[in-house]
């Protein structure tokens, strides 16, 4: 025992080892921890509101092993997901545009000198004096 220990004896409850905290954090991130709870608000035996809370704390690798990767597909959290969403939306819009253009009709040659005009353009050409 040192002189310091005699004046200020170490307390087991108050003494913290940084390595212990680091080990606990490492274990939690490696294994994962689940915290679950429900909050219910009832009025005269009538359920008004139920909130279910599920919290999973882990490292990204542990979450992936558990099959959780929603942050990779959420456009608000992933720039890659945002680009993919935008590309998908553009492809859908192109398909819709193509379908609309097909319904209107493709350019058809005509014998009245309005070659290259669509059926809408040809009708407008006929109305001109």
Percent of the chain as helix, strand, coil, to the nearest 5 = 50, 20, 35
What is the pLDDT at residue 127? 53
Q: What is the pLDDT of residues 98-108, one digit of tens each?
A: 988 888 886 55
What is the pLDDT at residue 12? 52
What is the pLDDT at residue 94? 94
DSSP secondary structure letter of residue 72: G
Is 125 inside a domain boundary? no
Is 18 inside a domain boundary? yes
Q: What is the pLDDT of residues 78-120, one digit of tens each?
A: 777 778 888 889 999 999 999 888 888 865 555 555 555 455 5
> How many domains does the structure of the chain reveal?
1
What is the pLDDT at residue 9? 55
Phi, psi of 22 (to 5 degrees): -65, -40
In this predicted structure, the answer to whether residue 125 has a pLDDT above a threshold of 60 is: no
Is 31 inside a domain boundary? yes
Q: What is the pLDDT of residues 20-74, one digit of tens each?
A: 888 888 888 888 888 889 999 998 888 899 999 988 888 888 888 888 887 777 7
Question: The pTM is what?
Answer: 0.38
Domain assignment of residue 37, given as a range: 1-68
Is 1 inside a domain boundary? yes
Is 3 inside a domain boundary? yes
Is 111 inside a domain boundary? no
């Amino acid at each position: 025992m040192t002189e310091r220990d005699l004046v200020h004896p170490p307390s087991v409850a108050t003494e913290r080892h940084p390595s212990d905290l680091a080990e606990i954090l490492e274990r939690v991130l490696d294994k994962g921890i689940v915290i679950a709870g429900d909050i219910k608000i009832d009025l005269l035996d009538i359920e008004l509101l139920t909130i279910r809370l599920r919290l999973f704390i882990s490292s990204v690798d542990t979450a992936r092993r558990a099959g959780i990767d929603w942050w990779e597909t959420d456009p608000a959290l992933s720039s890659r997901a945002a680009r993919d969403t935008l590309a998908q939306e553009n492809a859908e819009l192109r398909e819709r545009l193509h379908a609309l253009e097909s319904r209107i009709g493709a350019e058809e040659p005509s014998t009245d000198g309005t070659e290259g005009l669509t059926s809408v353009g040809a009708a407008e050409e006929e109305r001109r004096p």
